[in-house]
Structure 1
C-alpha cells in the first residue's frame, strides 16, 4: 500500500506566506482496526523523529495495513527554521516564550454532565460522540472571535488530528539524551513493546503535552463511566518517545525505533504481519521519581555520568571548572548525588548559569517485562 501526501496549514507568517506541514496517509483496509496518528519535530532541534517516520513509511508500504495511519513529520515549520548560527532554537514560541509542547488544549469538559446526557448510547456510539465533542472543541477554540496565539494555533490544529485517532505517538528527543519514553499509568504494559530502554510512568492527568492531551479526556470519561457501573476500557493510547539527542539524524537507529513502533502496532492489529518486539532490558520509574539536578554553582561543566547507565551513590556526576578561582579549592568542583540513579539527559552546553537544569535522572527503577 502506498501513502498519499497532502499538506496542512498551521499558521501564517507576517509577510502572508502560509506555514504548512506535509501529511502522509494510508487509509487501511479494515474500518474496525485502530487509527494511528504519529507526529515529529514539534520542537525545532528534535529532528530524529522525521527519520523514524521515513523508515516507518518505507516499512508500512511493504506491509498489509489494516488500520488507518496518518504520519505528520516536520510538525513545526516556525520552530524548525528558528536558527541562530549553527544551532536550532525552536523549543519555545519566540512570540510568547511558551514551550511549543505545552500549548495543547485542556478541554475542561464537564465530563459527569456530558456522560449523563449520553449514557444511553452503546459503547461504540458513546466513543464516537465524545470524539466528535473533542474535535468540535478544538475547532471552536481555533475559531474564537478573540483569536489564538501562534503556538496555540499550531498545537490545537495538530490536536484536532490526534483526536481522530485511537493511537497517538509524539516523537521527540532530549538535549543530550538516551532513549526514553513517557507512558500513562493505565497503559504501562505497552512500554515493553517499543525499542526504548527507559520508561517514565506518568499520572493519568493533563500536563499540557500532546500525549496527555490525547489520552486524558478518555481516561476521565472512562473513570466516570466505570463509577456509574459501566465497564469501559480507555479507547485511546498515547505515548511520547524520546529518541536520543537533538540536532542529529541516524537512519539505522531510526529503523530500529520504527521496528519498535511496528511491534506495538502489530500487537494492536494495525498491521496484519507479526512484528517481534526487540529483546532488550527495559526499566521504568514513576514520574515522581524522575529528579532534576540544578547546577549549584555556575561554570564550565565536564559531564561525567554516562547517560542510560547506572550511577552509584557518591560517584562523579559532573565537574565544574571555575578559572576565575584558579589556585583555590573552588577551581574544580566535583558534583555527586547521594543515591543510585540512571542519568537520562543533561544540558546541551558546557557553559552554565547557577541554577541550570543540569541533569535529569531516574531513581527507584523497576524492570518491565514482555
Structure 2
C-alpha cells in the first residue's frame, strides 16, 4: 500500500500574525520519466466537493502502482473557506480587493520569440526543462518583488509555482447550481473522453486569469511559435478545470465516480501502471465562444425552470420572473425563453435578482465528442 507524504505550504499571514498554511499530500512515483501531476481544490470557499474527490482519489491510489509524482492541495484557499456569512460561505472574491480568487494567477507575458531564439539549440527535453524553470523563476520573482503583492495574488502565485512543476494540472471547482462540466484546451480535446463528465467547454489559447490557463497557455504559445519557426514540438503540459456540480455540497459516492474518472485519465497518461477504463457515457462539447450568459431582463423573484444538464429546445421556458408588486397586470408573472436550442449548464443560486443578474450559462452549437 502506497501512502502519501504530508507537508504544508505557507501562503501568507493574518493580521494578528498567524501563519496561513495549506496541507499538501504527495505520492512519490517510482519512474522519473512518467508524467507528474498537481491537483488542487477549494480555491473558492463554497466549492467543497473537490476535497471529497481528492480524498477518494488518494484512497484509490493507495492500491495502485504509482509511476509519476502526484501532489494534492485540498483546502487550497483557507481565507475563502473561512469567509462565512451566517450559514453561507461567500469565498468567491477576495474581500480586500473584490477580485475573483481564481483570476489572480500570474500572466508571465514572456517574450516567447526572444526566449526561443536563445534556447532553440537545446534538444526537446532540455528545452522543456529550461522553459519550466523560466516559469517557476518568474513566479519566485513575483513573490519577492520589493513593492509586494496582494493577499490573493500571493496565494495564487504560490499555487501556480506548484502547478508549473507538473506535467498535468487539475483544478477542481463547482458551480452555484450546476451540472458537471470540464474546461478543456482545444489542443487536448481528445482527453475529455476519459473524465466522468458529460459536458466539455473547449477553450482557446488565451489567458483569462484562471489556473488551467496559467498552466497551459505559456506552453501552447511556445509550441505555436516553434511551429512557426519550422520546429515541431508536442505540448508537454495538460491542464483542465473540472466543475463537479453544485457548491456547498459534499457527496462521497459522487466523488468516487469523479475520482475514478480522473484515475482513468491518469492511467491513459501513464501516471499509474494499471489500466483503468473510462466510464461509458455520452459526452458533449461546445467551444467557449458558444458558451452564453443570460442576464435577467428585469428584477424580481425567479423560478428556474430549465434543468441543468438537459437540452432545452428553443422557445421553451427558461425562467419565470415573478413581480408581486405588479399583481393584477400582465407583467406580474413573465415567462422568459431563448431563441435557440441550448443545454443549460448552471444557474444563479438565489431566487431574488436585480436586473442584469447572470441567471444562466448555457451551451449552444453543441456537438458530441467521439
Verify same fold: TM over 0.5.
Answer: yes
Q: CA deviation at 1:231?
A: 1.5
Deviations 1:53-87 (A, max 9, x none): 00010000110000000000000000000000000
**Does residue 246 of structure 2 align to residue 245 of structure 1?**
yes
Report 1:146-295 matches (<5 A): 146-295=147-296
**Does the residue aligned with 2:160 lie in a helix, a strand or coil?**
helix
**Does the residue aligned with 1:105 lie in a helix, a strand or coil?**
coil
Aligned to 1:138: 139
Q: CA deviation at 1:294?
A: 0.1
**Does the residue aligned with 1:361 lie in a helix, a strand or coil?**
strand
**Does the residue aligned with 1:192 lie in a helix, a strand or coil?**
helix
d(CA) in 2 for partners of 1:26, 1:310: 40
d(CA) in 2 for partners of 1:134, 1:354: 42
Aligned to 1:72: 73
Aligned residues: 369
d(CA) in 1 for partners of 2:140, 2:63: 35
Aligned to 1:19: 20
**Does the residue aligned with 1:120 lie in a helix, a strand or coil?**
coil
Aligned to 1:40: 41
Aligned to 1:54: 55
**Does residue 361 of structure 2 align to residue 347 of structure 1?**
no
Aligned to 1:2: 3
d(CA) in 2 for partners of 1:357, 1:265: 35
Q: CA deviation at 1:170?
A: 0.2
Which of structure 1's runs of 4+ aligned residues deviate more than 4 A?
Answer: none
d(CA) in 1 for partners of 2:123, 2:228: 16
Aligned to 1:92: 93
Report 1:98-137 matches (<5 A): 98-137=99-138
**Does the residue aligned with 1:182 lie in a helix, a strand or coil?**
strand
Q: CA deviation at 1:230?
A: 1.3
Q: CA deviation at 1:261?
A: 0.4
**Does the residue aligned with 2:329 lie in a helix, a strand or coil?**
coil
**Does the residue aligned with 1:63 lie in a helix, a strand or coil?**
coil
**Does the residue aligned with 2:241 lie in a helix, a strand or coil?**
strand
Q: CA deviation at 1:225?
A: 1.3
Report 1:331-342 matches (<5 A): 331-342=332-343
**Does the residue aligned with 1:46 lie in a helix, a strand or coil?**
coil
Structure 1 stretch 288-297 or stretch 218-227: which is displaced more? 218-227
**Does the residue aligned with 2:109 lie in a helix, a strand or coil?**
coil
d(CA) in 1 for partners of 2:141, 2:69: 26
Aligned to 1:63: 64
**Does the residue aligned with 1:219 lie in a helix, a strand or coil?**
helix
Deviations 1:274-325 (A, max 9, x none): 0110000100000010000000010111110011000001101010111100
Q: CA deviation at 1:224?
A: 1.4
Deviations 1:4-62 (A, max 9, x none): 11011111100000111000001100000000000000000000000000001000011
Deviations 1:159-214 (A, max 9, x none): 00000000000000000000001001000000011000000000011111000000
d(CA) in 2 for partners of 1:6, 1:58: 18
d(CA) in 1 for partners of 2:48, 2:251: 10
Report the aligned-residue RMSD: 0.5
Q: Structure 1 length as normaliser, TM-score?
A: 0.99
Structure 2 unmatched ranges of 5 or more: none
Aligned to 1:300: 301
d(CA) in 2 for partners of 1:320, 1:70: 46
